[in-house]
Every structure is written in C-alpha cells, then in structure tokens.
Amino acid sequence: MIATNIYKRHLDKCGANYTPLSPLSFIERTAHVYPDYPSVVYGERRYVWAETYARCRRLASALSARGIGLGDTVSIIAANIPELYEAHFGVPMAGAVLNAINTRLDAPVIAFILGHAEAKVLLVDPEFSSVVKEALKQVDRPDLLIVDIEDPSFDGGERLGGLTYDALLAEGDPDYAWSLPGDEWDAITLNYTSGTTGNPKGVVYHHRGAALNAQSDILDWDMPKHSVYLWTLPMFHCNGWCFPWAMAANAGISVCLRAVRAEPIYAAFRDEKVTHFCGAPIVLNMLAHAPDHLKDFDHQIKVMTAGAPPPAAVIEAMEAMGVEVTHVYGLTETYGPSVVCAWKDEWNIKEPDERAALKVRQGVRYTALSGLMVADPDTLEPVPADGETMGEIFMQGNVVMKGYLKNPEATDKAFTGGWFASGDLGVMHPDGYIALKDRSKDIIISGGENISSVEIEGILYKHPAVMEAAVVARPDEKWGETPCAFVELKPDATVTEAELIAFCRDNMAHFKAPKTVVFGTLPKTSTGKVQKFALRDQARALA
Ligand SMILES: Nc1ncnc2c1ncn2[C@@H]1O[C@H](COP(=O)(O)OP(=O)(O)OP(=O)(O)O)[C@@H](O)[C@H]1O
C-alpha cells in the first residue's frame, strides 16, 4: 500500500491562505488603522501615518514611472532623516532594492558601491554632497539618476542633479496601487559590510527576513504599541537593525536625528518623551559621560545595544541612570540583531555588578532565528556548554542573508554545512547562553594560551580613569604574542602604564594582563568600531 499523507491532499497554498511575508504590509495596515497617529518627527517636521504612507506611495509611483522596478538598485546616502525612513518602504514598493550607503565612507568606496550595486538612482542628503561629488567623478555612470534631498535645517551642501526629492514625490501618485513582492524571497535591501575584514561585500536581504526580524525586534524587546523610538543608530547600518519596519508594525513614532551627540539626544529624551533607542556601546559610553545637567528626564527609557562587546561598566552606568539595557548581537549578514541576552525576572534581585556580568553575555536566539550554536569550525561539532571551551558562533534560519551580491565564493565560504559562519569566537554557558570572546582574527595567543581581548577590555573599562580601551596582540619573541592595550583616558584623568597593568593583574589571571599600555585616541571604523587592524599595526611597530 502506498503511504499517503492526508495533510497533503487538497490543502494547497492559494491566494486565500498564502501571501508573501513582507514588512511593506505593516505600513499599509498602520496607515489604515492609525492614519492620524504620529509617524515621523524631525525638528519642526511632523508627519502622521497617513502622510508617511502617502509619501512612500508617491516615491514608489514616481520611481516606477521612471522605469525603476524589479531587480533595480536605488541607493541613498543620508543621515537619519525622514527621506531615508520613507525610502525603506517607497523603494521596495516599486519592486526595487534599497541600498542605504554608510555616510562615513570615503569617495572611492562610495564609487565602488555605486558601480558594484549597478545603482539606477542615487538619493543624496546635502550633508554628503561633496563626498558624493568626488565619488561620481570616479564612476562612469552618466545614466545614474541623481536626486537631491533638500533639508532647510541643514546649512550647506550643493545640488548635484537636476531633480529634488520633493519634485520626485510630486511626480508620484499618493494612492499608487503597489503590490507585495511576487515572492517573499525577493531582495528588499542591499547593505555593504564596512570592510573591516576586507573589501566591502554586498549583503542581500529578502522581504521574508526583513518582516520576521522587524517583528522579533518588537517581541524580543517587549516594545509596547506606539513606542517613541529615537534614531541614534544609523539607518544605513543593517537597515537600522530592521527598526524602520518594526516601527511601522508598532505604529510607533520615529524621532529622526541628524547628529548623534549627547545634547540633542538628551533633549529628545526630554522633549519627545523617547521610550526606546539603539546604539553601539560607544554611544552608551558617550551618554554616560555627558555632563549631568543634560540628563534631565524622569521617564523609563530602554536602550538596545550591539555592534561591539558592551563592557559591564557601561551597562552598569546606563542602568544607574535609569536606562534599561537590552543586549543583542548580530552581524550585517543576520539583518542586525539575531541573538538577545533574554532577561529573566529572577536576575533582578542580583547586585548591579552581577546583573551586568549576566548581561554582557550575548545570549540566545532571537525569536526569528532558528539555530544558534558554538561549534568547532572544521567538524561543526558543538562545543560543551561549560562556559569555557571556545568555538565559532554559527547561525541558521530566515534571518540569515540571501548571500553576497555577485560574490559566490564569499557566499559559499560563509555558508557551511547548512550554517552561517559568523567569524566570531565564543563559549556556550551551561544555561544555554552564548558569550562572545573575540573575533577569530582578534584573539591573542600567548605562550599557547588563548586570551580574549574582550575580557581584558572589560576589566580596563572598570578602571575609573579609562574612557575607552581596545586590546590587540603584540608580537613577542618569547610568548609569540602578548596583549597590548590602547587606552583613551577620561578628560583630566591620569594613570600610569604600571598602575593599569597592576589593576588588570589584580582582577584577572596574571598571564592575561596586558604587558604594554599605549595612551591616546582610538582610531574608529566608519561604523564607529575601534580599528583593531590599525592598532595591530601600531603594536607590531612597537615590537
Ligand atoms: N553584542 C555584541 N557583542 C560583541 N560583539 C558584537 C556584538 N554585536 C556585534 N558584534 C561584532 O560586530 C560584528 C558584526 O559587525 P558588522 O556586521 O557591522 O560588520 P563590520 O565589523 O562593521 O564589518 P566587516 O564585516 O567588514 O568586518 C560581529 O561579527 C561581532 O564581532
């Protein structure tokens, strides 16, 4: 007898029971349900959902009328302003792929991206017109449509094309009948990695992953409906960790911000009654060290942090100010956050330092992620959950990128045995929470022992004189490598090399303590991370 599965008979997908997952459906619903609720705020400019939705439809319609559609790239280089928010909907509503370019890149890299992405349109914020002008000289693309965004609140910049963003919107239909993608696997955005590990690679996201991760953002952060979200995290970075779409699903308010400085951030906390914001640990550190008179708010604020290991001292400082920290971890390749240090109520009774020690761990799967493991990169055998055995961190599921654009070799290398290899090293704790120890290329091997630079940095941050710290390997004849710390001190603080080394030795195994300390400003990448490769060069020169 032929075995049959009764659930396979006459139970097929059809238009009634299956539509592609896409975050575009979120804005349509929210504009329908909450048309007059605030959506986007930028200084004096205030929109409600009906307006934001109409502007996105105009953009889609205008792009479409100009022949932009499926498989085309629309690039944008902009600060966190409403136009960049709208592009997250208007561009894919036209069927095209949004490529938000990192605003801190230099002209040759921008030129590389425009060429590699085969961009058809480039939307330009006036703040970046001069670097774009330089980049355009280096790309041979006379057909590229340049659209200048105008921002009366920004002083400077120049027009590069013959069309403004508002004029483009005016060409469009506010009632444009856009449609969901034919396939949820269709590309929605293209994000270039910052290139700290080589040439920028074009990470492609699909509608399905974008919808799922945006929903996880809300779920894994317990975001109440109509949250007030401050845009401190660049929207160009992994599409702002999917928060443009999350805020549409949440029917929340996006408070746009051009400059990520303590003063406007604290002013927004107070004036807009911000409830949520995201930022790399360096942003949290900046806020913690801002003058006290700025810290003038008395409502509950939550921050989500990732991008680099958050030192326990920074978490403690934020929480002492009444800002609740949620620690997440991910990569451009995983739509931003895909792992969260899911908090447990029973941890609330612990002392602040114990709470921070639990929270510096990267944690467990985001709701949208299917698999997370720490494993031997050669055998893919998971390491024991002992909190000590190091392995590589692997992810699996719908919030792992489609792959790298036009780069099958890199895609094949990243996907191994059904898993995405993160290039990060970590351990699995007995309670199932992972902790990241280093990027594989950052680990220090001294006398045959692995030393985690992250662990040493965590100790250095606890010293009252230290503002920022980064540790790299310094070549050493006897030990192979020794830890070399680069330290930026707080204004007016003083401490000697010997004192800092002694402080580390008092707080960790002696062999792990840095042997050298160099004082000075730390070089940063375009995403605000410390440029460890530059520090490694400096450490090598010392040797
Ligand atoms: N919570 C976190 N704790 C520790 N490290 C983190 C955390 N979140 C992210 N990271 C680090 O950031 C990396 C992802 O960064 P991202 O995808 O932005 O790439 P990049 O470093 O800017 O560029 P490239 O991929 O070119 O090196 C992770 O692999 C990890 O090393």
Q: ipTM of this predicted complex?
A: 0.96
Q: What is the pLDDT of residue 198?
A: 60
CA of 399 to the centre of ligand 1 (A): 16
Query: Does the beta carbon of 240 lie inside 6 Å of ligand 1?
Result: no
pLDDT of residue 526: 67
For CATH 3.30.300.30, the residue range(s) in the chain are 444-542
Distance linking the first and last C-alpha atoms of the chain: 76
Report the nearest-CA residue for atom 12 of ligand 1: 307
CA-to-CA dists, residue 440 to 202, 338, 437, 482, 508, angstroms: 21, 19, 9, 16, 22
Give the per-residue pLDDT at 196.
58
Residue 200 · residue 67 · CB < 8 Å: no
Q: Using a 6 Å cutoff on CB, does residue 97 contact ligand 1?
A: no
Please name which of 430, 540, 542, 529 lies closest in space to residue 196, comparing C-alpha atoms: 529
Class of the CATH-defined domain 444-542:
alpha beta
C-alpha to C-alpha distance for 29 and 49, rounded to whole angstroms: 10
Establish whether residue 337 lines the binding site of ligand 1, counting it when its CB lies within 6 angstroms of any ligand atom: no
DSSP of 450-495: EE-HHHHHHHHTTSTTEEEEEEEEEEETTTEEEEEEEEEEPTT---
Determine the Cα–Cα distance for residues 91 and 93; give it in Å rounded to an integer. Answer: 5
Indicate the CATH number of 279-439 among 3.40.50.300, 3.40.50.1370, 1.10.1040.10, 3.40.50.12780: 3.40.50.12780
Q: What is the pLDDT at residue 178?
A: 98
Q: Minimal CA–CA distance to 394: which of 380, 406, 384?
A: 380
Best CA proximity match to 410, nearest among 210, 197, 242, 206: 197
Asked if CATH classification 3.30.390.30 holds for the domain at 24-37+47-207, the reply, yes or no, is no
Going from the Cα of 141 to the center of ligand 1, the distance in angstroms, rounded, reads 32
- All CATH 3.40.50.12780 domain ranges of the chain, comma separated, are 24-37+47-207, 279-439
Mutation to probe ligand 1, out of 199, 331, 358, 533 (largest number of atoms < 8 A from CB) = 331
* Closest C-alpha among 101, 99, 152, 156 to residue 127: 156
Q: Is 395 helix (H, G, I), strand (E, B) or coil?
A: strand
* pLDDT attached to residue 140: 84
Tens of each residue's pLDDT in the chain, 543 residues:
667 899 988 999 999 999 999 999 999 999 999 999 999 999 999 999 999 999 999 999 999 999 999 999 999 999 999 999 999 999 999 999 999 999 989 999 999 999 999 999 999 999 999 999 999 999 988 899 999 999 999 999 999 999 999 999 999 999 999 999 999 999 999 999 876 556 689 999 999 999 999 999 999 999 999 999 999 999 999 999 999 999 999 999 999 999 999 999 999 999 999 999 999 998 999 999 999 999 989 999 999 999 888 999 999 999 999 999 999 999 999 999 999 999 999 999 999 999 999 999 999 999 999 999 999 999 999 999 999 999 999 999 999 999 999 999 999 999 999 999 999 999 999 999 999 998 888 889 888 788 889 889 989 999 999 999 999 999 988 888 999 999 999 988 999 999 999 999 998 888 889 999 999 999 987 667 888 889 999 999 987
